[in-house]
């Protein structure tokens, strides 16, 4: 039988390789871990033994012995809308793969009185060396405090400023919301509604700030009734639109703090037979998939979510490996993306029929 050796995994150990190569297990370990001080010929002998035996180091043994599991955790809010998390996942996974780390998930539904206990269960088993905290997890002081207490390193995606020894990754959402609002003003809009993001997200305040700054900067009066609280999901966007569009002085444009809420606004506009952008201009934030899946496609601000998550995971892993405490990156830029959901006000007039026509 051709090369009929036992190829069952989990059975070939470092001893088998050492025997095959005629060296000690320590030498095998050196080669496998790319340590120096191994003669080239020895290295090659070992490597071919590894290949022939299809040797794979056992992860559990490595973790136990080296006290390093090569796993990082992702503690994320398990929300209905998954656009943000999808990008976070991909970014974090990219950073992990490149460094031969694995990613373990810890989804948490919010709000949740047991967040801290859930995170503790997750972080204290020693399965993960560190944790990535996308929004809004990094905005929760209790979570940060717990991880500090547990001495589990973490990297957060949050606009908050980081203490010198912590890793925060952020973007300039304030500037981007400013730019979007300004764009609408320049199109001629004066009654511009705003749907705020979830109050537990640090980014929400930033984006609201950008909106208000733009109004102020252009001398457009701020109207309290044109601002509604949202929670970053479709339904809250729709609900906000329901209120705003029912106002006697309804807005001609609405800025939503993310794309999911903007999609909700768009949906409600259509339900009311309003034309978009003719009767109502709509802008979102994030440029997640949904922004270009609805019709018309949404004007929005492109937040580099995946790159931010990749950066967070990368910095975390570097720190875990005692990497030079690389200085934190500057906040990422968010680029406005103009699409078909925005136009000058009243591009077309007159009552619309109930089908949005």
Partner DNA sequence: TTGTAGGCGTTATCAT
Partner DNA sequence: ATGATAACGCCTACAA
Residues at the interface with DNA (CB under 7 A): 10-11, 13-15, 22-27, 29-30, 32-33, 36-39, 41-43, 55-58, 61-62, 64-67
Query: In the window 165-194, what residues touch a second copy (CB under 8 A)?
Result: none
Least CB distance to a second copy at residue 206 (A): 25
**Residue 150 interacts with which of DNA, a second copy, none, CB < 5 to 8 Å by class:** a second copy
Per the CB < 8 A criterion, the answer to whether 69 and 129 are in contact is yes
- Residue 276's nearest CA partner among 195, 355, 356 is 356
Q: Mind giving me the DSSP string for 25-91?
A: HHHHHHHHTT-S---HHHHHHHHHHHHHHT----HHHHHHHHS---EEEEEEE--S--HHHHHHHHH
The gap from C-alpha 23 to its chain's centroid, in whole angstroms, comes to: 46
Per the CB < 8 A criterion, the answer to whether 57 and 80 are in contact is no
Among 162, 271, 328, 332, binds a second copy (CB under 8 A): 271
Q: Rounded distance, CA 352 to CA 274, Å?
A: 6
Q: Rounded distance, CA 317 to CA 324, Å?
A: 11
**Residue 243 interacts with which of a second copy, DNA, none, CB < 5 to 8 Å by class:** none
Query: In the window 54-73, what residues touch a second copy (CB under 8 A)?
Result: 54, 56-61, 63-64, 67, 69, 71
Per-residue exposure over 228-250, b if at least 16 CB sit within 10 Å of its own CB, e if not:
bebbbbbebbbbbbeebbeeeeb
232 φ, ψ (degrees, to nearest 5): 75, 5
Is 82 near a second copy (CB under 8 A)? Answer: yes
Whose Cβ is closer to a second copy: residue 218's or residue 348's?
Answer: 348
- Residue 256's nearest CA partner among 279, 290, 213, 227 is 227
Q: Rounded distance, CA 230 to CA 256, Å?
A: 9
**Residue 105 interacts with which of DNA, a second copy, none, CB < 5 to 8 Å by class:** a second copy
**Residue 27 interacts with which of a second copy, DNA, none, CB < 5 to 8 Å by class:** DNA
Is 294 near a second copy (CB under 8 A)? Answer: yes
**Residue 149 interacts with which of DNA, a second copy, none, CB < 5 to 8 Å by class:** a second copy
Least CB distance to a second copy at residue 65 (A): 8
At 23 the three-state DSSP class reads: coil
Using CA atoms, how far residue 239 sits from 246, 255, 269, 271, in Å, is 11, 14, 11, 12
Is 221 near a second copy (CB under 8 A)? Answer: no
Q: Which stretch binds a second copy (CB under 8 A): 193-201, 240-248, 285-293, 326-334?
A: 285-293
Least CB distance to a second copy at residue 130 (A): 13
**Residue 32 interacts with which of DNA, a second copy, none, CB < 5 to 8 Å by class:** DNA
Whose Cβ is closer to a second copy: residue 21's or residue 123's?
Answer: 123
Among 38, 47, 104, 187, binds a second copy (CB under 8 A): 104
Whose Cβ is closer to a second copy: residue 170's or residue 299's?
Answer: 299
Per the CB < 8 A criterion, the answer to whether 85 and 56 are in contact is no
Query: Which two structure tokens, joined as six digits, stand for 314?
Result: 């990368």
The gap from C-alpha 92 to its chain's centroid, in whole angstroms, comes to: 8
Among 4, 10, 221, 350, binds a second copy (CB under 8 A): 10
Q: Which positions lie near a second copy, rule CB under 8 A?
A: 7-10, 54, 56-61, 63-64, 67, 69, 71, 78, 80-83, 86, 89-90, 93, 102-105, 107, 123-127, 149-152, 234, 263, 266-267, 270-271, 275, 278, 289-290, 293-296, 353, 355-357
């Amino acid at each position: 039988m051709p090369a009929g050796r036992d190829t069952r995994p989990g059975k070939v150990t470092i001893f088998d390789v050492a025997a095959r190569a005629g060296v000690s297990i320590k030498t095998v370990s050196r080669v496998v871990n790319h340590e120096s001080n191994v003669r080239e010929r020895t290295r090659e002998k070992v490597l071919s033994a590894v290949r022939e035996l299809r040797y794979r180091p056992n992860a559990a043994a490595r973790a136990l012995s080296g006290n390093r599991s090569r796993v990082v955790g992702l503690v994320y809010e398990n929300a209905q809308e998954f656009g943000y998390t999808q990008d976070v996942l991909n970014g974090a996974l990219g950073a992990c793969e490149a460094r031969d780390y694995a990613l373990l998930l810890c989804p948490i539904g919010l709000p949740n009185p047991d967040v801290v206990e859930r995170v503790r269960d997750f972080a204290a088993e020693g399965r993960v060396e560190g944790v990535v905290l996308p929004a809004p997890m990094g905005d929760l002081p209790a979570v940060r405090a717990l991880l500090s207490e547990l001495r589990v390193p973490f990297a957060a995606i949050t606009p908050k400023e980081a203490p010198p020894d912590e890793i925060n990754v952020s973007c300039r959402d304030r500037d981007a919301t400013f730019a979007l609002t300004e764009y609408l003003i320049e199109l001629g809009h004066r009654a511009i509604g705003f749907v705020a993001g979830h109050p537990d997200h640090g980014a929400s305040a930033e984006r609201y700030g950008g909106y208000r700054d733009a109004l102020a900067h252009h001398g457009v009066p701020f109207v309290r009734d044109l601002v509604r609280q949202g929670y970053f999901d479709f339904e809250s966007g729709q609900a906000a639109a329901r209120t705003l569009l029912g106002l006697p002085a309804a807005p001609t444009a609405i800025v939503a703090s993310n794309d999911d809420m903007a999609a909700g606004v768009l949906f409600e506009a259509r339900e009311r037979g309003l034309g978009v952008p003719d009767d109502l201009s709509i802008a979102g934030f994030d440029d997640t998939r949904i922004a270009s899946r609805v019709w018309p496609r949404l004007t929005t601000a492109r937040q580099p979510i995946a790159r931010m998550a990749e950066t967070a995971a990368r910095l975390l892993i570097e720190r875990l490996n005692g990497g030079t405490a690389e200085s934190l990156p500057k906040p990422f830029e968010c680029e406005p993306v103009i699409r078909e959901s925005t136009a000058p006000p009243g591009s077309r007039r007159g009552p619309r029929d109930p089908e949005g026509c």
